[in-house]
């Protein structure tokens, strides 16, 4: 199977990762494992959740991680690192353990999406590449879901490649958009690599090349009698484009026993034009001819077009999807949460002026708590050795209101992390992309409250803590206060 990345991505890192690695090599016990969590702090666009994506590429990267002779030569040329370290680096492989939420999981701020447990240097060196991949794909998957939701069951196609922030963003963006629910992509490589259905219409250049619009449509329909979607806005939609499309349907396709598949509108008032075009097509008996619209669409324009009664069967969405234009930073971070010495595990916490930025320390488990009808009621952090029994009365702590005594009962708890890499070896086969997409839809349909899915002031999903975990965090906070002062 063709691969996107035959590149060695091991050097995709910020310089400080390597600088710290060289420093650790000389000052620390580099074989002692440490734990880092990947998490994010705020849902994009003020939404109620995000979609976790990019895991497969993270795992591929970790498996392939190595530094070749050219990498070592380049690092040597920086005159920052000593020869012993560079020699050690030449034999470097990732030997750690990776647990994560399955790709496509609906996720919330401050919970661990991925946990890396690995020898110090290994865990440090992989920060940038892991974050780049997860931040990008989770952002686009989440944006795609909003657009798909606004389209209310109508097909959405990713048209974004040409406006993406270069080619990786186009191809992995298409993958993420498909996870988020778009039906197809115009990006051919994404179709080839990931098996995403591809779709497309025609460009204005096709219409402009021929002497007149009718001739352009006629040639296209003759070559693609089953799939022709004619772009009707090059000259004038209602006086030229739609009439010429109807003429082609009658004069070219009908004699072949074929029907015109569709027209595309790409400028002007898309609600008005789609309604007028629909009326004209219906009057000509072309009731099955679909209307596709495009032109700087996003979830808000799509919602507005449908509110205006636009007669639209599908949407092509490019720049605002592939760049997540309205809120283009996912903000995922990678934080040290524990340092291990032999059997002892020392949890680590990062303090901050703002309460939300104080990290959740230590090794932990993340559970999703479902009520009796299967809705996800909250998520719960516990210590790794806890197994919450939420069938009977289980008292937990809401860290935002720790004085409240709340409990779960008649609930079930599902641990959200699975182990994907154990001591450097892949221990889990990954689902097909279509299954990841179906998993997203299944959660949104059956588990996630509709109140969390609305765009305006969505319901806040709680991240609660077991009493033991909360106490550990508070103790650590008390101990750590003052440690940073000189």
Ligand X SMILES: O=P(O)(O)OC[C@H]1O[C@H](OP(=O)(O)OP(=O)(O)O)[C@H](O)[C@@H]1O
> Which residue ranges make up the site for ligand X (CB under 6 A)?
159, 162-163, 203-205, 266, 294-297, 316-320
> Using CB distances below 5 to 8 A depending on partner kind, what does residue 163 bind out of ligand NIO, ligand ATP, ligand X, none?
ligand X
Helices (H), 349-482: 433-446, 450-453, 467-480
Does 159 help bind ligand NIO (rule: CB under 6 A)?
yes
Q: Shortest approach of ligand NIO to residue 202 CB, angstroms?
A: 7
> Using CB distances below 5 to 8 A depending on partner kind, what does residue 200 bind out of ligand NIO, ligand ATP, ligand X, none?
ligand NIO
Whichever of 295 and 359 has its CB closer to ligand NIO, that residue is: 295
Two tokens at 326?
Answer: 């309205």
Does 201 help bind ligand NIO (rule: CB under 6 A)?
yes
- Taking CB under 6 A as the criterion, the residue among 205, 287, 308, 409 binding ligand ATP is 308
> Binding residues for ligand ATP, how many (CB under 6 A)?
12
Two tokens at 227?
Answer: 């799939």
| Residue-wise burial string across 450-462, b where 16 or more C-beta atoms lie within 10 A, e elsewhere | eebbeeeebeebb
- Taking CB under 6 A as the criterion, the residue among 17, 63, 269, 327 binding ligand ATP is 269
383 close to 468: Cβ distance less than 8 angstroms: yes
Helices (H), 337-413: none
Two tokens at 351?
Answer: 């303090």
Query: Could you give the strand order of the β-sheet that contains 229-231, starting from the edge strand earlier in sequence?
Result: 184-185, 155-158, 314-317, 290-294, 262-265, 229-231
Q: Shortest approach of ligand X to residue 216 CB, angstroms?
A: 13
150 close to 188: Cβ distance less than 8 angstroms: no
Q: Shortest approach of ligand ATP to residue 218 CB, angstroms?
A: 25
- Interacting residues with ligand ATP between 278 and 297 (CB under 6 A): 295-297
Tell which residue, 293, 402, 336, has the closest CA to residue 116.
336
- Interacting residues with ligand NIO between 271 and 330 (CB under 6 A): 294, 316, 318
4 close to 304: Cβ distance less than 8 angstroms: no
Does 186 help bind ligand NIO (rule: CB under 6 A)?
yes
Whichever of 262 and 310 has its CB closer to ligand ATP, that residue is: 310
* Bridge partner list, 157: 184, 316
322 close to 163: Cβ distance less than 8 angstroms: yes
By CB under 6 A, name the binding residues for ligand NIO.
159, 186, 200-201, 264, 294, 316, 318
By CB under 6 A, name the binding residues for ligand ATP.
267-271, 295-297, 301, 304-305, 308
């Amino acid at each position: 199977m063709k691969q996107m990345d035959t590149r060695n991505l091991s050097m995709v890192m910020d310089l400080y990762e390597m600088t710290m690695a060289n420093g650790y090599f000389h000052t620390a016990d580099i074989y002692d494992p440490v734990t880092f969590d990947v998490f994010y702090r705020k849902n994009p666009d003020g939404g109620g959740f995000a979609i976790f994506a990019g895991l497969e590429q993270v795992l591929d990267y970790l498996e392939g991680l190595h530094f070749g002779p050219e990498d070592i030569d380049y690092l040597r040329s920086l005159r920052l690192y000593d020869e012993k370290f560079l020699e050690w680096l030449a034999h470097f492989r990732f030997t750690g353990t990776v647990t994560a939420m399955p790709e496509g999981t609906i996720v919330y701020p401050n919970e661990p999406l991925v946990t890396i447990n690995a020898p110090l240097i290994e865990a440090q060196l992989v920060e940038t590449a892991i974050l780049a991949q997860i931040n990008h794909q989770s952002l686009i998957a989440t944006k795609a879901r909003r657009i798909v939701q606004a389209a209310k069951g109508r097909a959405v196609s990713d048209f974004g490649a040409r406006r993406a922030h270069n080619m990786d963003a186009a191809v992995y963006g298409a993958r993420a958009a498909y996870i988020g629910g778009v039906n197809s992509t115009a990006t051919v490589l994404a179709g080839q690599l990931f098996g995403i259905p591809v779709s497309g219409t025609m460009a204005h250049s096709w219409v402009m090349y021929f002497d007149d619009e009718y001739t352009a449509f006629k040639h296209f329909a003759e070559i693609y009698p089953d799939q022709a979607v004619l772009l009707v806005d090059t000259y004038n939609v209602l006086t030229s484009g739609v009439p010429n499309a109807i003429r082609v349907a009658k004069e070219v396709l009908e004699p072949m026993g074929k029907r015109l598949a569709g027209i595309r509108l790409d400028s002007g008032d898309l609600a008005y034009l789609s309604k007028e075009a629909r009326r004209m097509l219906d009057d000509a008996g072309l009731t099955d001819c679909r209307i596709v619209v495009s032109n700087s669409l996003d979830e808000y324009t799509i919602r507005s077009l449908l509110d205006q009664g636009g007669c639209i069967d599908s949407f092509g969405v490019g720049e605002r999807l592939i760049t997540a234009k309205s809120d283009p930073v996912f903000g995922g971070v990678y934080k040290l949460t524990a340092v291990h010495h032999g059997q002892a595990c020392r949890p680590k916490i990062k303090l901050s002026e703002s309460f939300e930025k104080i990290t959740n320390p230590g090794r932990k488990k993340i559970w999703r708590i479902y009520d009796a009808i299967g809705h996800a009621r909250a998520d719960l952090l516990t210590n790794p050795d806890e197994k919450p029994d939420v069938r009977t009365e289980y008292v937990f702590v809401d860290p935002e209101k720790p004085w409240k005594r709340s409990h779960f009962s008649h609930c079930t708890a599902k641990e959200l992390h699975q182990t994907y890499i154990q001591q450097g070896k892949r221990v889990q086969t990954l689902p097909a992309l279509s299954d990841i997409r179906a998993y997203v839809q299944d959660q949104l349909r059956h588990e996630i409250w509709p109140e969390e899915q609305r765009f305006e002031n969505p319901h806040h999903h709680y991240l609660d803590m077991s009493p033991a975990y909360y106490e550990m965090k508070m103790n650590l906070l008390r101990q750590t206060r003052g440690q940073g002062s000189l």
